[in-house]
Amino acid sequence: MEIKGGVELPARREDVEFHTEDGLTIVGELSLPLSAAPVATIVALHPLSTHGGFMDSHIIRKAAARLPALADLAVLRFNFRGVTSPRGVSGGEFGNGIDERHDLAAVMAFVAERGLPHPWLVGWSFGTEVALKYGLDYPIDGAILLSPPLHRTSDAELAAWAGSGKRLVAVIPELDDYLRPPEAAERFSLVPGAELVAVAGGKHLWVGESQTRRVLSEIVMRLNPAALPLPESLEV
């Protein structure tokens, strides 16, 4: 079986809910390895909902579909407030990256309650802004930023990651619509320890199987490098 597109590999999948301090119910899904304990945890923060982002945005959906089986990772994904997906609707309305701090707080409380190991925030586009603004409030190993636009993140918020002890990895598409590698190098100079990964030919939406595999491999390289290289097919 070739691992591509919408292939969903075996995992223990559970619909979950989170309750925010401002009274909303946030819906999500937890995907765990079928038989092994997870070695680390992806907390996935999706792209901008006003431009179609949700917990099923393709990189996040494929991470949940593949990485529990291929890399022994837990994948926790959810809809930010006001967002609808086949899983359901999260309460409230778009908070412009400000009110979403309550969503992240509720999700991270769940991570702690379940004892999910070595959590990493994996944000994509808008999700990177939420990760950068509020991620330092939580006991995470680090954050992986896919196509960070840095529209809502101030220099002070970015600089706060310097010396925090939490790893920061920015995966920058060469042909990004918002922030390309030269500009990213300048902005992220505020965090001397940040890892910048420039992806030749990459685009903001990471369309295509080769770009998907590159992004998933960059994630696994930080969370469970022993699982690399990710297989492109499995015997059935």
Map residue 3 onto helix, strand or coil. coil
pLDDT number for residue 229: 98
Mean pLDDT estimate for the chain: 97
The whole-number average pLDDT for the span 192-217 is: 97
Across the strands, what pairs with 120?
42, 142
pLDDT number for residue 189: 98
Residue of 109, 147, 125, 101 whose CA lies nearest to 46: 125
Map residue 35 onto helix, strand or coil. coil
pLDDT band at 19 (very low <50, low <70, confident <90, very high): very high
The whole-number average pLDDT for the span 173-182 is: 98
pLDDT number for residue 56: 98
The predicted-structure confidence for 111-142, as pLDDT tens digits, reads as follows 999 999 999 999 999 999 999 999 999 999 99
The answer to whether residue 204 scores a pLDDT higher than 90 is yes
pTM: 0.98
Alpha-carbon distance values, 75 to 30, 42, 141 (Å): 6, 5, 15
The whole-number average pLDDT for the span 69-80 is: 98
Q: How far apart are CA 87 and CA 79, in angstroms?
A: 9
The answer to whether residue 236 scores a pLDDT higher than 80 is no
pLDDT number for residue 235: 84
The whole-number average pLDDT for the span 182-202 is: 97
Enter the tokens of residue 115: 């004892």
The gap between the terminal CA atoms of the chain, to the nearest Å, is: 6
The whole-number average pLDDT for the span 27-52 is: 97
